[in-house]
């Protein structure tokens, strides 16, 4: 048993069945579907895919949109995690400058087993989803089909992010090498050192590129992994 596993097992266990030893994928999915943001994101994703298949005009640009989004998504995930989720609150005179995402993320680090804190805040999702739709509609002027492909891909990725991040924080144990690598990567971020391993849905593609994927044995355990920026 690694130090990371010991730390996770020592954490307080909520009553949810998904947070109990031996949790199955079916139990984890049932809990996942009790929360609002998967439904919000999923509804837009399904609607976008249905609309895309209704709208004619498939072209070589559709796989290009898909390929570009798949290629850049790990980097975007890394950038959001580093610069938005790990935003350090500032003070401008007597005014504290902070964001909902950063505040919720600090709370998530303090208690990684608190299920509602695992999900993207719904207040962010209700702004994010219309923004994605508007980008898809106006960035692809005259190319309605490709715009729908963009919307469908982005929302599908968001849903995949929600599911992967949630599942990592449940007690469902990895059974396949690919998911085990993703699971291990994110757990090191929470229970080893918060300055590394920023990707969630991959096993460290962007981390390796941006030099935040060290050998865990060479990294000291951080005293602030559960208290980002040493803030209360």
Phi, psi of 95, deg, nearest 5 = -95, 125
Please write the tens of the pLDDT for every residue from 155-183. 999 999 999 999 999 999 999 999 999 99
Cβ contacts of residue 52 below 8 Å, gap of 6+?
145, 148, 149, 152
60, 63, 92, 195, 218 from 128: Cα distances, Å: 28, 24, 27, 26, 38
Q: In terms of pLDDT, which residue wins out, 139 or 42?
A: 42
Please write the tens of the pLDDT for every residue from 31-87. 999 999 999 999 999 999 999 999 988 899 999 999 999 999 999 999 999 999 999
pLDDT at 49: 97
Domain locations along the chain = 23-176
Within 13 Å of residue 27, how many CA atoms lie on the same side as its CB? 14
41, 96, 156 from 32: Cα distances, Å: 13, 34, 16
* 212 has pLDDT over 70: yes
| Mean pLDDT, the chain, whole residue set | 91
Three-state DSSP at 97 gives strand
Q: What is this structure's pTM?
A: 0.90
Q: Are 23 and 175 in contact (CB under 8 A)?
A: no
* 109 has pLDDT over 80: yes
Q: Are 104 and 121 in contact (CB under 8 A)?
A: yes
Per-residue tokens: 181: 């690598």
């Amino acid at each position: 048993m690694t130090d990371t596993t010991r730390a996770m097992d020592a954490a307080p266990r909520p009553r949810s069945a998904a947070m109990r030893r031996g949790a199955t994928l079916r139990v984890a999915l049932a809990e996942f579907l009790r929360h609002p943001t998967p439904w919000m994101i999923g509804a837009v994703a399904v609607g976008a895919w249905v609309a895309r298949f209704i709208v004619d005009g498939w072209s070589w640009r559709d796989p290009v949109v898909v390929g570009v989004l798949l290629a850049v998504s790990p980097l975007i995930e890394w950038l959001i995690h580093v610069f938005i989720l790990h935003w350090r609150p500032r003070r401008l005179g007597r005014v504290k400058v902070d964001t909902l995402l950063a505040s919720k993320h600090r709370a998530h680090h303090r208690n990684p087993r608190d299920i509602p804190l695992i999900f993207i805040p719904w207040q962010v999702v209700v702004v994010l989803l219309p923004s994605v739709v508007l980008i898809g509609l106006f960035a692809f002027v005259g190319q309605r089909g490709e715009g729908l492909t963009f919307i469908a891909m982005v929302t599908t990725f968001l849903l995949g992010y929600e599911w992967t991040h949630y599942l990592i924080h449940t007690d469902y144990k990895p059974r396949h090498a690919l998911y085990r690598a993703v699971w291990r990567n994110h757990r090191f971020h929470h229970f080893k050192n918060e300055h590394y391993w920023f990707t969630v849905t991959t096993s460290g593609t962007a981390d390796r590129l941006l030099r935040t994927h060290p050998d865990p044995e060479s990294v000291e355990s951080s005293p602030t992994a559960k208290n980002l920026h040493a803030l209360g």
